[in-house]
Amino acid sequence: MEANKSLEGAALRRSELEVAMQQVERTAAAPAANTSWVDDLTHAVRQLEIALDHHIVEVEAPSGLLDQIVDTAPRLQRSAGETRRHHTLLTSEVIGLLGRLGTAREGGRQDVDGIRTAVIDLLNELARHRQQGADLIYEAYDVDIGGY
């Protein structure tokens, strides 16, 4: 029963993360000549940061999904640990991107290509993380959490 609740929570956070990722991608792809491009992208990345934080809190909580996976399938302890480490990396990448956007806003100059490259790299890492999470859940529970 507890696993079902944790899976539902993870699926909800997974969906919220996907929506935030899509918004970042759309915003980064908008014309950078627009004077609000940096501000709009900063807002979208902050929303992504919130969605990522909610995801991490959901799955890493004591007795949360990652702990339950290890309890259910101890052979997946290494994979669960890798997921936790990946969360740290993703959080650092988001913070780094926000710092870069802050510098672009304050300095009045935009490294559009560099910022877009950083966005693409972050989105790729997040997509990879979501795929690995779906695989981990499937290995533990034989449940497809879905592509959302």
Query: What does the DSSP 8-state code read for residue 64?
Result: S
Does residue 146 form part of some domain? no
The whole-angstrom separation of Cα 28 and Cα 97 is 12
Q: Where residue 20 sits, what CATH number does that domain have?
A: 1.20.120
Does residue 148 form part of some domain? no
Q: What is the pTM of this model?
A: 0.93
Does residue 132 form part of some domain? yes
| Domain encompassing residue 83 | 2-141
Q: What confidence tier does 105 reach under pLDDT thresholds 50, 70, 90?
A: confident
Does residue 147 form part of some domain? no
Q: What confidence tier does 34 reach under pLDDT thresholds 50, 70, 90?
A: confident
Residue 108 has pLDDT above 80, yes or no: no
Does residue 23 form part of some domain? yes
Residue 2 has pLDDT above 90, yes or no: no
Q: How many domains, the chain?
A: 1
Does residue 109 form part of some domain? yes
The whole-angstrom separation of Cα 39 and Cα 101 is 8
Does residue 107 form part of some domain? yes
Residue 33 has pLDDT above 60, yes or no: yes
